């Protein structure tokens, strides 16, 4: 009985530790469009697979919520990059 309990606990914990999978550009663009974003505004970096980056100046609350929900559902963490200042862009 105790062995079955340990096995069940191990299975539950290992399910939580599944590695993030890479989503291709077409998938991310589909999600972006569904959340009211433009193509290319959602990216996933291979070096940090668990992070879903949304790059957009002044996103609306519903856009942020849409991306965050999708990220959570897919085992990712949504990161919102706003107010980007490019060098030589003038001020």
pLDDT per residue as tens digits for the range 67-77: 999 999 999 99
pTM of structure? 0.72
The reported pLDDT for the residue numbered 89 is 61
**Mean pLDDT, to the nearest integer, of 24-46?**
95
The reported pLDDT for the residue numbered 13 is 47
The reported pLDDT for the residue numbered 17 is 54
Q: Compute the mean pLDDT over every residue in the chain, rounded to the nearest whole number.
A: 82
Higher pLDDT, 11 or 22: 22
Tell me if 15 sits within 8 A of 30, measured CB to CB. no
The reported pLDDT for the residue numbered 84 is 73
- Say which residues have a Cβ less than 8 Å from residue 58's Cβ, sequence separation at least 6: 82
The reported pLDDT for the residue numbered 85 is 72
Measured between alpha carbons, how far is residue 24 from residues 32, 57, 83, 84 in Å?
12, 23, 26, 24
Q: What is the pLDDT of residues 13-31, one digit of tens each?
A: 444 556 678 999 999 999 9
């Amino acid at each position: 009985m105790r062995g079955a309990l340990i096995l069940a606990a191990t299975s539950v914990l290992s399910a939580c530790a599944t590695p993030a999978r890479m989503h291709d550009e077409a998938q991310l663009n589909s999600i972006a469009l569904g959340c009211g974003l433009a193509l290319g505004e959602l990216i996933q970096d291979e070096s940090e697979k668990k992070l879903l980056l949304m790059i957009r100046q002044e996103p609306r609350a519903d856009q942020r919520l849409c991306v965050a929900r999708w990220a959570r559902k897919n085992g990712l963490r949504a990161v919102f990059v706003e107010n980007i200042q490019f060098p030589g862009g003038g001020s």
